[in-house]
Amino acid sequence: LSLAAILAILLAGIAIAMAAQNYAQHHYDTSALLRTLGASRQQVLWLFSLQLLILAFITTLIGLMLGTLIQEQLSSLLSILFINDLPTAPWSAWAIASITAPVTLLGFALPHLIQLSRVSPLRILRRDLEPMSISGRLIYGIALACILSLCLWFTGDVKMSLALIVGGLVTLILLSFGLRGILKLLDKITPSARFNIYVRFAWRHLMRNNQSASTQILAFAMILMVMLVISVVRNDLLNDWQRGLPENAPNFFAMNIQAYESDSYKAALEETGFKNYPLFPMVPGRLTHINERYVHDDEKLSEDPALQRDLALTW
């Protein structure tokens, strides 16, 4: 579930980055006009960042309400499968949901807003004047820092988070270079192919910005890949679990049967047609050492509630 959540956040981040880039390009003139009226870069950046924060606040509230409604519906649908009521979401779930949206939004949209604040006032007179570009390290660094922090929070495992980030980054770089090579190869083949004028015109428009086209193609391909991965992993987990169960595995268990009750219990099972599996004796005990080390010497282990009470042990 954590992996699926992280992949969903990555997809949302890609969508936010593409939308923020388009938003910034359409507001270059607005930023230039604000600069001619005396606004500084910091004021322009604060103005658009404030809009982003308001958007994050509104969408977070909407998401929390939708999540609550969906959880209530799922709980009511699943209530017939459980004797006790399902527990409500803890405060940590609300905290994660409330922080994930703003962090993702700022991490993937803020770099483009920074570029929006760097528009020169001369763009009012020269519409072809582009804003001063910012370092690519800053753009990707902000996004990677946000994703890494969310991964660490979701998984609680540094190695898993680093493996996911580094592996995903290497995969994206390789796929990006491969995709650009394929587009260049197709660009050489397309003029000689017998396509109508509409296809050739569309292809010329697509290849006018090779980098943007490859980024969008890669984003949509990742969306399809992640959906497929989540579907395959879900089915594989269930299938592997079912294959791991032996034939006619018991799914009902009885405990605390006293020695003088064992014969009558077996007889009652035979009368009702249940198979009679052997009864195993149980004894109360406590876990005190792991690999000859006293468990209460470890602060993390000593906080485990299972170490503070008797355990029902058998073999």
| Stronger pLDDT, 196 or 166, i.e. the higher one | 166
Tell me, yes or no, whether 244 lies in a domain: no
Query: Taking a C-beta distance cutoff of 8 angstroms, is the pair 176, 214 a contact?
Result: yes
Residue in the block written with tokens 């009885």? 254
Q: How many domains does the chain have?
A: 4
Residue 245 lies inside a defined structural domain of this protein: no
109-125 burial, b at 16+ Cβ within 10 Å, e below that, comes to bbbbbbbbbbbbbebee
pTM, to two decimals: 0.57
Residues 37 and 141 in one domain: yes
Angle formed at CA 247 by CA 243 and CA 252, multiple of 5 degrees: 100
Residues 301 and 262 in one domain: no
Distance in angstroms (rounded) separating the CA atoms of residues 96 and 109: 20
Mean pLDDT of 226-234: 75
Judgement on whether residues 122 and 169 belong to the same structural domain of the protein: no
pLDDT of amino acid 161 = 77
Residues 143 and 175 both lie in one domain: no
- pLDDT for res 136: 53
What's the pLDDT score for residue 272? 85
Residue 140 domain-assigned (yes or no): yes
Long-range contacts at 60-66 (CB < 8 A, ≥ 24 apart) = 60/97, 60/98, 60/101, 60/102, 63/97, 63/101, 64/94, 64/97, 64/98
What's the pLDDT at 37?
81
Asked whether residue 11 falls in the same domain as residue 145, the answer is yes
Same domain, 294 and 219: no
84 compared with 114, residue with greater pLDDT: 114
- How confident is residue 137, by pLDDT bands cut at 50, 70 and 90? low
What per-residue confidence (pLDDT) applies to 301?
73
CA distance 252 to 141: 53
Q: pLDDT band for 123, please (50, 70, 90 cuts).
A: low
Mean pLDDT score of the chain:
77
- Supply the range of the domain harboring residue 265: 252-277
Among 96, 123, 156, the domain-final residue is 156
Between 266 and 153, the more confident residue is 266
